[in-house]
Amino acid sequence: MANHSIEGTNNGGSGLGFLSKLVPPLSALRVKRYASPVLDMRTALAIIFASVVSACGGSDSRSDGGNVPFTTVEQSFWSYVESNEGVVARNETEFDAIWVRHSGGRPSPAPPVVDFNVNQVVGYFLGSRSNGCYSMSITHITQDHDRLVVSYKEQVPVAGAVCPAVVTNPVHFVAVPLSPLRVEFVAE
């Protein structure tokens, strides 16, 4: 049995609104053989999901800025934490406890690997939102005397956006250099 994926050859045609620029018309699709249909399907789904998020007013999953460097550890629409709250984990035990809440106690996926000898994790749970066009990002982190100030921004659906009809609980975790300073979360 051959493995297949779909490859576009955009030769014109009509589409549905913004999707016409992102997805070729069905008449322009042809079958191409690949070794892994699972990888190709995951890639296709990731591209479609990113397109929908972008159309809903979402942003890139990594935002660097401010005077404290950070790296995204996890950013998702699907957390089991329904409350609006910031969290800090300065060691693996604290992060594991936060991860259990985030994942609903499910063993998979395992928490991302973080070197807690030099980093800590800060994160923000946005809480429950009514559709799939809501998202949030930690945008920048600054050090202000005796504290780290973590700024985050909620992306809301643009007027007229067609959004997935699912309840979401957006979250963003980032790794920052280890610090004993208290952490304050501020909405933009």
CA separation for the pair 188, 186 (Å, rounded): 6
The predicted pLDDT at position 33 comes to: 40
Predicted pLDDT at 76: 92
State the DSSP H helix or E strand holding residue 147, giving kind and residue range, or none if neither.
strand 147-155
Give the C-alpha separation, 171 to 107, whole Å: 18
Task: Tell me if residue 29 falls in helix, strand or coil.
Answer: strand
Q: Sort strands 135-144 and 147-155 into parallel, antiparallel or unpaired.
A: antiparallel
Q: How do the domains of the chain map onto residue ranges?
A: 4-55, 71-187
> In the chain, where does DSSP find H-type helix?
19-22, 37-55, 92-102
DSSP 8-state assignment for residue 27: G
End-to-end CA distance of the chain: 53
- pTM of the complete model beyond 0.85: no
What per-residue confidence (pLDDT) applies to 62?
36
Tell me the mean pLDDT per 10 residues along the chain, length 188: 40 42 44 41 46 42 61 93 96 96 86 96 93 91 94 92 90 97 96
β partners of residue 125: 85, 171
Specify the pairing of strand 171-177 against strand 147-155: unpaired
